[in-house]
Every structure is written in structure tokens, then in C-alpha cells.
Structure 1
Amino acid sequence: MRRILQFASFLSLFFVGFLALNYFVFYGMAFLLGMSQNIIFYILMFTAAASYPVATLIEKTVSNNLTRIFYAAASAWMGISFYLLFFLVIYGILSFFVKIPHETAGIIIGILTLALSIYSIVNSLLLNTKEINIHITGLNEDLKVVQLSDIHIGSIRNSGYMEKIVAETNKLKPDIVLITGDMVDGSARLHTHTFKSINDLDAPVFFVTGNHDFYEGLDEVFRVLKDIKIKILCDEMVECCGLQIVGVNYSFKKDHLKKVLSQLDINNEKPSVLLYHLPRGLKTANEAGVDLQLSGHTHKGQMFPFNFLVKLMFPYVKGIYEYNGAQLKTYLYVSPGTGTWGPPMRLGSKCEITLINLRSGVQG
């Protein structure tokens, strides 16, 4: 009951905010294009604002091909409306210095928004492979590790996308596959068959939870993954291929990572990899003797200009970072995500499968 109330509260607050955004966008475009604000104007505006909350509720109760198309369209409208807002704001600023006829400005904004939206949607459908090399002291032999993160299986990305990820991952011939949270999106009911292709991965698979797995309900996530060939690490450590693999659950508590790591018997003489959804706690990981931390969550902002907002919350947004401690150098790699959340769009970021070549020898 509590989760239902939380979900209803979120949708209500989202609708109010999205209604305000849609009013600004509809009003701005109607003003520029000389359209009247009649009853049709308000019906269209209200329908656009309500589309995502309504689609979400429908997907949570009954999901089929039609409802998934509706949900995808509603999600895409979120991204489109933000692009419209972005260009309207830019036009508002430029209008103080350059006089552009209203109708001309409206047409230009419409064309730019359409072009960016098409590009962003197509870009989000492409699955890219990023390869990096990291040297870890104490590793007996070189290892190929694939990191997947923020896959967001749900209404838009489902079994077909999971199969595509598995096929592309197997081409890389990894020794280990590590999934750093947000396996599910939380947009639709979960089914075990959606994840069955994971069983076709030609390497051991380890997974830690992210915030969306938490929102969906960990019991439900664990239920659908129960019979899947995947090891869920819940604040614990296992050894595989000569690596200590440490998995820490997502948590709202700021001291959660430090508390969990302090309770685990991490051998500083052996190489270790930490899976933690949030790209935080690099110093804490270093002090615990971790050689490499793998995280996700940020999506690299997913859509410009949100990367700047994400940067304010997370100093580690995307890519490789280092922390030099007194006795150890710890690396952090932040994945931009293998899927998308919300709008099925990417601008200034890509869906990524990360191939991490762990090299034996001295860190450098």
C-alpha cells in the first residue's frame, strides 16, 4: 500500500510540473505561429501533459503492443517538449539582441526540434562498444570484463533489446560480465522470460541493484531473476577468475558504502573490483583496498543539456577516474548506461557496452 501511495504521489507531482512545462511550450509556439488559444488548444495541452502519467498507469495494469507504443510515444514527447522549451528559451534571450519575425522563429524552432528529436531517437537505438585498459597489481593473468549498466528493461526496452545486448557481449568473449544496477526500468510488469537470454551469456554474470530496481521492489526483481544464470551480490564478496568481486546494494544512506565495505574481509594482496551503482565513494573504496570501482546511474546526462545538471550532483559523470591513496591507486569507471530512462533519446551520449581489459602488472 505504501509503494502504491508513493507511486501515486510521484505521478501527481510529475503531472503538475509537466503541465506547467507543456503550458509554456504550447503557449510559446502558439504565440510565435499566430495560433489562437481556444478550447482545442487547452485540450491538446492537457492531453500532452497527461500522456506520460496515463501511459505509466496503463503499463502497470495491462501491457500489450498498443500500450507499449503509447508509452513510447508519451516518453518521446517528454524529450521533444524539453527540446522545444530549450529552443524557446534561447529564442527569448536572442530576441533582446536580434529581431526575428515570430512566425519565422516558430518554424525554425519546430524544424530544429524535429531534427534533434529524430537524431536522438535513432542514436538511442545504437549499441556502442567502448574498450579501455586498466592495469591491476596482483592479477595473475589478463582478464576481459564486460560492464553493463542501466539497461532499464521495461516497456520500451524489453526481451528483444536484452537479446541484442547478449549477442553483442558474447562477440567480445569476456571472462566475466558485471552489471552495475538498474536492470529494470520500473515502467511495466516484469516477466522471467524477458531476461532468459542472459542464460546465453558465455561467462559468469554478477549483478548489483540500482535505484530503479529498488523502486520496482527488490522482491519482484529477485523473483524474475531467480531462475536466471546470474549471481546477485547483496552487500557481499565472491571470488571469480582470481578477482575479489564486491557487490554493494543501492541505498539512500550516504554512509552505506563505507559501512558495508568495513564489514567485508577484502584481502589487499588480491585484486578486487567493486560494483556500486552510484558513482560515489571512490576514496572509501580506496581505503578499503579496492583496485577498481564500476558504477553507472548518471547516463552521462543522457540528453544535452542535462549533462551539466548531472555534473552538479555527481562529479564523476562518465569515463575513467583515478584516486591515489597512501598505498594504492584505485580506478573508477562510470558507464553512460546500456539503455535509457524516460525519453528513448540520447544527445551527447551513447548506449554503451564497456569492455574492460584488466592487465596484470604494475598500475600505471
Structure 2
Amino acid sequence: MAFLRSCLLLGMIVAVALFAWAHHNARIDPIVRRGQIGFRDWPRSIAPVRVAVLSDIHIGNESMDAARLRRIVGQVNGLKPDLVLLAGDYIAGHRAKPARIFAPHLVAPLAALRAPLSIVAVMGNHDYDTDPAIILRALRAAGIRVLRNEAVARGGLTIAGIDDLLHGRQDIPKTLAAVRLLPGIPIALSHSSSTALLDGGITLELVGHTHCGQVDLEPFGLTNAVAASNYRCGISRTSRGITLVTAGVGTSIVPFRVNAPPDLWLLTLGPATR
């Protein structure tokens, strides 16, 4: 009996230690991943653009509060990007109450983002699960341009902002029509990926949503269905074009990360080189 109690106690200690480790991993500073993508038709008169891409803030659970978000904003500002792109999911949860409570906590940290070509955002599925009107007000109060099936020109780029595909809010023909009216290299910002964007003549899409699995047990033979059903994390090149999937900076459902650390990207977009 004493041996059994000792085994149970040891098991509890190990479980608590694993949960604490996974929770710590969810709150570490995001890894800054860097990439360079060239375009053959980049205008010679336009300098390359440094673009910071982050997603899945999910404020409102144990992995994200205003203090951590301020720290991440400072990290982004330290990279001195020309442009900041936010790929949706600003709130944790699936009900309106978290949005009412936590959306106001987004304003001050996000208002501190600095980029000469501005900060541009799209909405994600959690934003529509909760209260999109409240989240939109918070983002706009922070001085962020939110695109909902619209396009804007920034530097040498035209950014196509696709509204949330998982709630059927996307209007890709409308967005592509808006892109054709603007100068610049077209890129797409969306919470989740869509082959229709790449098929529509946009060669680069920037997305989040998957958290890179968040809890990735693939080394142990267990497949994460969310990660497996989408493009792999990082930069994927196919015959259609290029998709960048960021792991995001927050978490959803449980505030844990295993083998899928939080990250953000600093991309340099400019002319193609040999």
C-alpha cells in the first residue's frame, strides 16, 4: 500500500510539473522568426518593406494579459518594422462576456505599436464567436485599420484583408476586385488560409489560426488535427504561391504549449534576387 501511495504521489508531482512547464511555455516571449521573400515585379523605385506579422493574441486567459501584451508590443517595436499585420483572434473564448471584459484591455497595448506604414488587421473566428462589434471598436480605438474584404496600399504592397473564413464572412471576389484598383504587389492577410486567394493571383498569404498545433505530440505519434488539416507552420511554397503560417502569441482553450512555442515573424518583402 505504501508503494502504491508513493507511485500516486510521484505521478501527481510529475503531472503538476508538466502542466507548469506547458503553461510557462505559453507565456514566454515569442520567438522572432525572420524571412525574406522577393517578387520579380517589385518596383525598382520602392524600397523593401519590413513586415511584422503576429496573430492569435487571445487576451483573456492565463496565457495572455495586458502586461504580457505590452511586453510583446515592445518586442515588435524593437524590430523597427515598416508595417505591422495582425491576423485575427484577439479574444480568448467563444462567448460575448469575455469580449466585453477583455477587449478594452487590448486598446492601450496595441495603440503603442509603431510602424510608419501603419498597423493593419483582420478578424478571426474567436472574434466572431464572442462579440465582433466590441472587438472592432477596440481595434479602431487603438488606431488600427481593420480590413473586412477590403484592400489598402502600403509602401510597395497592396494588402488584401479577408474577413473570417470559418464563419463564412469572406468575400474573395470583392476583395480581389478591390486589389486590382490599387498599385503595389498584392499580398493577402487572413486568419486562416484559402487556396482561392492564391488562385486569384495573390502570390503570398499571411495567416495564423493553427497555433502550430499548440500542443504538438507528433514526436510521440499523436497527430494534431488542426495543424494537420492546414499548411505546415512557417513558410510553405507550392505551385500556387507562398503561405506563411505563424504560431501566434497567445493560446485558446487551455493556456499550454508543447513543442509549438509562440512566435511572430519579421518578413522583408522586396525585389527578387538571384
Q: What is the TM-score normalised by the length of structure 1? A: 0.64
Deviations 1:44-69 (A, max 9, x none): xxxxxxxxxxxxxxxxxxxxxxxxxx
The residue that corresponds to 1:281 in the other structure is 194
State the alpha-carbon separation in 1 of the partners of residues 202 and 143 from structure 2.
Answer: 26
Q: Which structure features the higher share of helix residues? A: 1
The residue that corresponds to 2:53 in the other structure is 147
Q: Among residues 114, 126, 146, which one is paired with 1:232 in the alignment?
A: 146
CA displacement at 1:262 relative to structure 2: 4.6
State the alpha-carbon separation in 2 of the partners of residues 168 and 125 from structure 1.
Answer: 14
Consecutive unaligned residues of structure 2, counting only runs of 5 or more, are none
The residue that corresponds to 2:216 in the other structure is 304
CA displacement at 1:181 relative to structure 2: 0.6
Q: Among residues 164, 170, 177, which one is paired with 1:250 in the alignment?
A: 164
Q: Is the Cα–Cα contact under 8 Å of residues 247 and 264 in structure 2 kept in the other structure?
A: no
State the alpha-carbon separation in 2 of the partners of residues 268 and 191 from structure 1.
Answer: 32
State the alpha-carbon separation in 2 of the partners of residues 217 and 240 from structure 1.
Answer: 29
Distance 1:342 1:311, change over 3 A: closer
Equivalent runs, 1:12-51 vs 2, <5 Å: none
Are 2:125 and 1:211 equivalent residues in the alignment? yes
CA displacement at 1:255 relative to structure 2: 9.7
CA displacement at 1:251 relative to structure 2: 3.0
CA displacement at 1:151 relative to structure 2: 0.5
State the alpha-carbon separation in 2 of the partners of residues 124 and 336 from structure 1.
Answer: 11
One-letter amino acid of the counterpart of residue 156, structure 2: G
CA displacement at 1:108 relative to structure 2: 4.6
Cα root mean square deviation, aligned: 2.7
State the alpha-carbon separation in 1 of the partners of residues 232 and 162 from structure 2.
Answer: 19
CA displacement at 1:226 relative to structure 2: 2.9
Equivalent runs, 1:257-268 vs 2, <5 Å: 258-266=172-180
Q: Which runs of 4+ in 1 moved over 6 A?
A: none
Equivalent runs, 1:99-248 vs 2, <5 Å: 106-127=8-29, 128-139=31-42, 140-156=46-62, 157-186=64-93, 187=98, 189-192=101-104, 194-203=106-115, 204-248=118-162
Are 2:233 and 1:322 equivalent residues in the alignment? no
CA displacement at 1:135 relative to structure 2: 1.7
User: Relative CO higher for 1 or 2, CA cutoff 8 Å, sep ≥ 6?
Assistant: 2
Distance 1:311 1:215, change over 3 A: closer
Q: Is the Cα–Cα contact under 8 Å of residues 125 and 167 in structure 2 kept in the other structure?
A: no
State the alpha-carbon separation in 2 of the partners of residues 191 and 160 from structure 1.
Answer: 14
State the alpha-carbon separation in 2 of the partners of residues 228 and 255 from structure 1.
Answer: 23
Deviations 1:295-324 (A, max 9, x none): 111111111338722357523131111122
Q: What is the TM-score normalised by the length of structure 2? A: 0.83
Distance 1:312 1:152, change over 3 A: closer
